[in-house]
Amino acid sequence: MFDARKPHVLFVTEASYLSSGYSTYAAEVLKRLHATGRFELMELGCFGSFADPRAAGIPWRYASAMPDPNDPEQVRRYDSNPLNKFGQWRFEDVCLDFRPDVVVSYRDWWYDEYISRSPLRQLFHWAHMPAVDAEPQLDQWVATYLDADAVFGYTDWGLEVLRRQSGGRVRAVAAAPPGADTAVFAPAADRAAFKAAAGLPEDALVVGTVMRNQARKLFPDLIEAFASLVREGPAAIRSRTYLYLHTSYPETCPHWDLPALVREHGVGHRTLFTYLCPSCGAAYPSPFADARAICRKCGRDSAVLPDPTKGVTRDTLAKVYNLFDCYVQYATNEGFGMPAVEAAACGVPVFAVDYSAMGDVVRKVAGTPVPVQRFSREVQTGRKLALPDNAALVAVLGRFLLQPEAMRLRAGHLARKGVLEHYTYERTAAVWADHFDSVKPRPHRQTWDAPAKPVRPNLSIPDGLSDEEWVRWGMCNVAGRPDLADSFTAMRMARDLNWGQTGGGMGGMAFNDATALGVDTDVHLTLYDRDKALKQLLDIADLHNRWDDERVRRSDP
């Protein structure tokens, strides 16, 4: 029978009315997909509290991933597993309710990998977009991405890394990056007047950046390079070049001691920070004046360095970018790096480390890649982290700032053109829409309305099996998951059996080797043997049977 229903697409994300990067992506993409009228859409919104009135205004279907605080059973379930805040505890229920043809996710590995372990996994097409921020990616991550039916990228570079590492097996489709709001982030008409209003000399040249004050952002290198530029750079620009760090200090995470760094390099008077006054709303650039300062506008003792992406309004942030003559993204690695794109949208030429997302973005916005001098490795993940060539940065910045203004403006024009071509939500929503059109929905009688498929664990395990053989046999005959017989999960179980210990991991599964990385750095080792492994295999079978029963109960007769 011809099935004329619209494709059902479930987005697993952070609630679209919140202000995180994931939330913004959901809001902007879903809004545009909704307007096409071609898809039935639903959002599983994490971190959006239960019965938040803002959810009522969402025009597509929505489910909160938070528990009803007045329902102790829901709260207990929610608190029972650290993955539940990412939506795990609600996922199967929402799927059975909405019956998605396609499930879309685009968060970090440890947020979304539960989707690949879902007992309902075989019933939907999974389109996943991981942020690949360095190479190599952990084998376990690649194994998860191989399970996805379609893989998208924040960058083409990230997709290329996954293609390479999987020997071309990952089903890579296209980049679907976040877009810049090119109406808010636009070039100001008169930059010189803008600078004067901000208290800068009209002929000031400003090298700027917008970055969280966190370990992987290379503030020490950027400050050192800037100090060389004003000490040894071209005489014509030496005395009028400023460094603008729109960032936070102090921070709750390990962070750079910025006042000590600018003092060490003798550039305190030439380095500006944004101060934001929560009392009167004023935001202005100033040399460092302690963690809290007297507000220039209202005189109250309340001006602080804001969180760079959340603390100021987008209009204020656009004004900050418009004070820059060039933008520098200086980090060991990035998954995307929205500020570089927003700066380019404001017509500010971008300089960025030629690695990870930075190397991809900087080329698409017609900027200048800064070569990598060498890489170090991160102990937790084995990923390569870049250390850029600071002397090369000094040289390219010097040459650029020496150019006549007309040439610098021309470079800014090309930067904005690159954003309009590559980083708009119109383009990104179209990439998703094309993909959903290409997925042929399977008839419900093969998926959500299929006959019951209970797993009946066979506990007559043959004698004399090696750990590897035992796990393979158990996956097929106890868990009822032959598809997992050669998986990373099975490999890890065999390794831990041989070892006699397991590191556990988030979500109560022994299988998530690195899951703890995103949330918990302590690994707690416990003894591991075939009895424990058998219990886990039975848990997989139980979980499947529970949701298979529920599916059949809710299916059409």
Q: Which residues bind Zn ion (CB under 5 A)?
A: 277, 279-280, 282, 295, 297-298
Smallest separation, CB 296 to Zn ion (Å): 7
Cβ neighbours for 73, distance < 8 A, ≥ 6 positions apart: none
End-to-end CA distance of the chain: 16
For Zn ion, the closer of residues 15 and 277 by Cβ is: 277
Closest by Cα among 362, 379, 380 to 371: 362
Smallest separation, CB 285 to Zn ion (Å): 15
Smallest separation, CB 298 to Zn ion (Å): 3
Smallest separation, CB 304 to Zn ion (Å): 11
For Zn ion, the closer of residues 281 and 508 by Cβ is: 281
Smallest separation, CB 306 to Zn ion (Å): 13
For Zn ion, the closer of residues 280 and 420 by Cβ is: 280
For Zn ion, the closer of residues 282 and 420 by Cβ is: 282
For Zn ion, the closer of residues 132 and 305 by Cβ is: 305
For Zn ion, the closer of residues 226 and 288 by Cβ is: 288
Closest by Cα among 543, 439, 401, 432 to 481: 543
Closest by Cα among 480, 417, 427, 412 to 174: 427
Cβ neighbours for 224, distance < 8 A, ≥ 6 positions apart: 265, 390
Smallest separation, CB 293 to Zn ion (Å): 10
Strand-pair partners of 205: 241
Closest by Cα among 545, 546, 547, 550 to 480: 545
d(CA 125, CA 150) in angstroms, rounded, equals: 8
Rg of the chain over Cα atoms, rounded to whole angstroms, equals 26
For Zn ion, the closer of residues 154 and 275 by Cβ is: 275
For Zn ion, the closer of residues 293 and 461 by Cβ is: 293
User: Does a cis peptide bond (omega within 30 degrees of 0) precede residue 136?
Assistant: yes
> Which string of b and e fits 246-262 if b means at least 16 CB within 10 Å?
bbbbeeeeebbebbebb
Count, residues in the chain: 557
Smallest separation, CB 259 to Zn ion (Å): 21
d(CA 8, CA 39) in angstroms, rounded, equals: 6
d(CA 338, CA 211) in angstroms, rounded, equals: 10
Smallest separation, CB 323 to Zn ion (Å): 19
Asked whether the beta carbons of 139 and 538 are under 8 A apart, the reply is: no
